[in-house]
Amino acid sequence: MADREKATGDLGLIQAFVNTVDLMPLHEQLQDPNTLQAWLVANGLMDASHSADEADLKHAIAVREAMRGLIGGNSGVRVYPIDLATLTKAAGESRLRMRFGPDGRPRLEPEASGAVGAIGRLVATLYAAMQEEGWERLKLCSSDPCRWVFYDRSKNQSSRWCKMASCGNREKARRFRAKNTSPRRGEVSA
Ligand SMILES: [Zn+2]
């Protein structure tokens, strides 16, 4: 199985957004309002004539981490009410409304413009992604310091780590150490 599997479509966009930070080793893509603005424009969520400020950056990161928390539910992690409240608030602030598109299909679109609207568009994308069949395959890496979002393509939907070679082995070693105070060399490498 390939490492760090990517989803496509709405699921893929949510995955890409949550993975704008790599927690291990730490690499933050959304470093400042300008990089946020560039990311939103590059992903078709906002017109390039709009800018983003520090408050938008803070808002985007809060929503991103709330989405990470929600996705954790697909990996058996408890979803915290604060994350759900953050997403509800973001939907409200962007004033998501249902509109029927030219194709006759309804979708949620923000009335707010700028970065707040763009973040609302991400929440609408999350809503659409959650209706898709593959939603439950979008998971968080179970290695605690990693928490990367990966798409579980395994047949029985049982993958737990974004990368077996690093995260999977690190986690197995950690559990082994927790169980055995003095592990013998060689036993934790499988
Ligand atoms: Zn991982």
Tens digits of per-residue pLDDT, 91-131?
Answer: 999 999 999 999 999 999 999 999 999 999 999 999 999 99
pLDDT along the chain (190 residues), means of 10: 82 98 93 98 98 98 98 96 98 97 95 98 98 96 93 94 87 84 53
Pairing mode, strands 26-28 and 21-23: antiparallel
Question: Does residue 100 belong to any structural domain of this protein?
Answer: yes
Q: How buried is residue 188: exposed, middle or buried, by Cβ count under 10 Å (0-12/13-18/19+)?
A: middle
For the chain, the average pLDDT equals: 92
| Residue 105 maps to a domain | yes
DSSP state of 74: G
| pLDDT (0 to 100) of residue 166 | 84
Residue closest to 91 by CA, chosen among 110, 104, 76: 110
In a domain, 129, yes or no: yes
Would you say residue 148 lies in a domain? no
Distance 189 CA to ligand 1 centre (A): 17
Percent of the chain residues past pLDDT 70, beyond the cut: 94
Could you tell me if 162 and 153 are in contact, meaning their C-beta atoms sit under 8 angstroms apart? no
Q: How many domains does the chain divide into? A: 1
Are the C-beta atoms of residues 120 and 95 closer than 8 Å to each other?
yes
User: Ligand 1: distance of its center to the CA of 3 in Å?
Assistant: 9
Within a domain: residue 118? yes
Structural domain contains residue 92: yes
So what's the pLDDT on residue 1? 46
Give residue 120 CA to ligand 1 midpoint distance, Å: 28
What is the model's pLDDT at position 25? 85
Does 81 map to a domain? yes
- Of 157, 182, 128, 160, the closest CA to residue 120 belongs to 128
Whole-number Å distance, alpha carbon 150 to ligand 1 midpoint, is 8
Centre of ligand 1 from the C-alpha of residue 15, in Å:
14
Strands 138-140 and 149-151: antiparallel
- pTM for this entry: 0.89
Tokens for 64? 């991103």
Residues 147-157 pLDDT 10s: 999 999 999 99
Q: 150, 139 in Cβ contact below 8 A?
A: yes
Q: Is residue 176 part of a domain?
A: no
pLDDT (0 to 100) of residue 171: 80
| Bond from prior residue into 25 cis (ω within 30 degrees of 0) | yes
Q: Ligand 1 centroid to 160 CA: how many Å?
A: 9
- Look up the domain containing 43 and give its range: 9-134
